[in-house]
Amino acid sequence: MFSHSGRRLSGVLLSLATATLLASPVASAAGANQQSTVHGGDAMYTVSPGPGREPYYCSAGFAIVVKGVRYILTAGHCTEHGLDWKDIGANLDTHFPGTDYGRIRDAGGSGPSSVDLYDGRTQRILRAGIPRVGQAVCRSGMTTKKKCGKVLGLGQTVDYGAGKQVVGTIATDIPVSSGDSGGPLFAGGIGYGVLSGGNSQVSFYQPLPPVLAAYGASLA
């Protein structure tokens, strides 16, 4: 969890040695839905390589297209944890720490980029943007579903300990929990970022526009 004594939202977040990354072991993700069409905030399941073969859940972010090929964007610390995501596709890359994003091949094709609102509806995401401080925003994730709040700061640096920092994040007051990592931050049809980490009081997001630019991608 985050240490409030080390939190500063005027420019840079430092000394957050207990910041939490929110990939979730399968034991805490019972009942998560797997489905062929993947919306932002939906559960994704993988198993870590190596002798432990530890299972993990994260949340889908945005459907993107790079040179005509479809991918699901999520948190980079999620794509560290496995090779293939059940009913979705294979990891392509991971960018973490420093930034926190990665791609999964969308083998099934999930249609236009959209977010699961967890009330039987989805929200189409039409473009990427940067929010304003104080702006109302929402986040979707497999554990805490859709939650809304406001933007606390931009350009924030989060220290996860062990030399792992993520820079340039969007900070909000939206609560998050294990398994929500990678889920989308949005308002209406605008996508703002994917969840990096947080707790029950504050959450931090990798901004979407620089990720799309780095990949040469567009929203699906």
Domains in the chain: ranges and CATH: 4-22+114-207 (2.40.10.10), 24-105 (2.40.10.10)
- Tens digits of residue pLDDT in 8-40: 443 444 334 345 776 655 544 444 444 578 999
Choice among 42, 59, 77, 116 that is catalytic: 77
pLDDT for the residue numbered 35: 52
- Tens digits of residue pLDDT in 37-76: 899 999 999 987 777 777 889 999 999 999 999 999 999 9
Secondary structure (H, E, C), the chain: CCCHHHCCCCCCCCCCCCCCECCEEHHHCCCCCCCCCCCECCEEEEECCCCCCCEEEEECCEEEEECCEEEEEECHHHHCCCCEECCCEEEEEEECCECCEEEEECCCCCCCCEEECCCCCEEECCEECCCCCCCEEEEEECCCEEEEEEEEEEEEEEECCCCCEEEEEEEECCCCCCCCCCCEEEECCEEEEEEEEECCCCEEEEEHHHHHHHHCCEEC
- Tens digits of residue pLDDT in 162-203: 999 999 999 999 999 999 999 999 999 999 999 999 999 999
Choice among 24, 59, 113, 181 that is catalytic: 181
Instruction: Output the pTM of the full model.
Output: 0.87
pLDDT for the residue numbered 3: 26
- Tens digits of residue pLDDT in 78-127: 998 767 999 999 999 999 999 999 999 999 887 899 999 999 999 999 99
How many Cα atoms occupy the beta-carbon half-sphere of 38 within 13 Å?
Answer: 32
- 59 in catalytic set: no
User: Which residues 6+ apart lie within 8 Å of 121 measured at CB?
Assistant: none
- 114 in catalytic set: no
Choice among 24, 39, 59, 100 that is catalytic: 100
